[in-house]
Structure 1
Amino acid sequence: MARTAEDILADAVRRSAPGDGANRLVPLIEAGKAPRETIAAFALEQHHIITGDRGSFQRLAERAAGTQPAVAGFFTSLVQGEDVALDRLGALAGACGLDGTALRAYEPLAGCQAYPAYTAWLALHAEPADVVVALTANFAAWGGYCVAVGRALRRHYGFDDAACGFFDFFAEPAPEGLERSSAAVRAGLAAGLVSERLAHRYGRLLRDYELMFWNTLAGP
């Protein structure tokens, strides 16, 4: 029996799930033990990540346009989501006492920026339908982290709903987003353009670069 898009996505999520204890920062935030300076660094790093990923998703949408409209639509929705995320990030930065001067002065860390650098590589070299699989798998873990951090920032750091809006945005994947993922992978399968081997490779590397982001912020 042929593998369905839903089978492929579920398997990718399972394969890419991080192991217990792999993320060292989120438990510190959950316990209220991470310094506020680390939360500020998170916001500053995310500004660079979001702007970089937005360009990568736009490039993937352009590559798929015309031949795989469902795949292009998936990435276009991600571009729009990055716009929302960047807007909400401003409230988080403000709660951390950051302004435009702090953003311009900040020097991003290589360990935090490996993820968007790899996303840019995927935008240039990977089959877009395979990237849909890899990103969908990674978003599952990212969403879980955002649930935990948003809850902890309210409980331990006194952040209000506006300051936590960035995390709330990613905490619950919209049903239409999941349907866009499935539709994109179905289109890729119909065109014979999905390689599960490569999609799993991309998902594994995205997971590891994501963990590198969190653990770089956690410190030695």
Structure 2
Amino acid sequence: MNAKELVTRIRTELHPGDHDNLVVKLIETGQAPRAVIQTFAAEENHIVSSDWRTFLALASKASEPNARAFFTLLAGGEELVLHMLQPLAEAAGMQAKDFHAYEPFPGCQAYPAYQAWMALNGEPTDVILAILANFTAWGGYCARMAKGLREHYGFGDEACAFVDFFATPAPQLEDRAIAAIQAALDAGWQPKHAWRYGRLLQAYELQFWSTLA
């Protein structure tokens, strides 16, 4: 099995069901209270700050060049989107002082906490596979939210910039990940914990949304 086949397999097996995420459906159809959108943005402010450091730690841990580049690109993305969250929160009616003083829910922060755990304990190629498994679901959620925020809440491009960013395909990132996984396979690596990491990461992702609900 080559890298592309391995990625397709883990994405297929770990992809959540269509009805697993109630919050995204409510935002997509305009039924979610604006307070939910405020909380989403404020929670993500803590998540992005954490993930930025996590991906830099993973980049420093990875020895294979493509793996290192993959995590470096992820870290750069977190840096880019961090400033996009306050406009989203304010568009939903949250004041700047409340955004910056916001105290997060444990259920929402389990996801970045587990990513940080993977940075300390995970083998980088297993972590890459786990993250890729989650990408498809997260990107789809963001695309649906972007549509709903514009159509039902009247949000403009600045307010939607965060979800737009993650809804946009990133072929360079995908290429680096595939190259890193293939290099590991060619060197004799076999996925040991990737499915466990991916399963738990997906579960914590859904916990984030259920906590918002």
Which residue of structure 2 lines up, in the alignment, with residue 105 of structure 1?
Answer: 101
Cα contact 1:147–1:167 (8 A) shared by 2: yes
The aligned amino acid for 2:54 is S
Residue of 154, 161, 178 corresponding to 1:158: 154
Are 1:144 and 2:140 matched, yes or no?
Answer: yes
Cα contact 1:185–1:194 (8 A) shared by 2: no
Which residue of structure 1 lines up, in the alignment, with residue 30 of structure 2?
Answer: 32
Task: Let me know the Cα RMSD of the aligned residues.
Answer: 1.3
Which residue of structure 2 lines up, in the alignment, with residue 22 of structure 1?
Answer: 20
Supply the distance in 2 between the matched residues of 1:31 and 1:40 (Cα, whole angstroms): 17
Which residue of structure 2 lines up, in the alignment, with residue 201 of structure 1?
Answer: 196
Which residue of structure 1 lines up, in the alignment, with residue 130 of structure 2?
Answer: 134
Which residue of structure 2 lines up, in the alignment, with residue 92 of structure 1?
Answer: 88
Q: Which segments of 5 or more consecutive residues in structure 1 lack a partner in the other structure? A: none
Identical aligned residues as a percent: 50
Which residue of structure 1 lines up, in the alignment, with residue 10 of structure 2?
Answer: 12
Q: TM-score, length-normalised on structure 1?
A: 0.93
Q: How many residues align?
A: 213
Cα contact 1:15–1:200 (8 A) shared by 2: no
Cα contact 2:42–2:85 (8 A) shared by 1: no
Supply the distance in 1 between the matched residues of 2:190 and 2:68 (Cα, whole angstroms): 15
Residue of 151, 167, 172 corresponding to 1:171: 167
Supply the distance in 2 between the matched residues of 1:103 and 1:158 (Cα, whole angstroms): 20
Q: Deviation string for 1:27-63 (max 9, x for gaps)?
A: 1112211100110000000000001111111110000
The alpha-carbon distance between structure 1 residues 61 and 194, as it changes in their structure 2 partners (threshold 3 A), is farther
Supply the distance in 2 between the matched residues of 1:148 and 1:34 (Cα, whole angstroms): 13
The alpha-carbon distance between structure 1 residues 100 and 142, as it changes in their structure 2 partners (threshold 3 A), is same
Cα contact 2:129–2:198 (8 A) shared by 1: yes
Cα contact 1:154–1:160 (8 A) shared by 2: yes
Q: What SS does the aligned partner of 1:34 have?
A: coil
Q: TM-score, length-normalised on structure 2?
A: 0.96
Range 184-193 or range 96-105, more displaced: 96-105
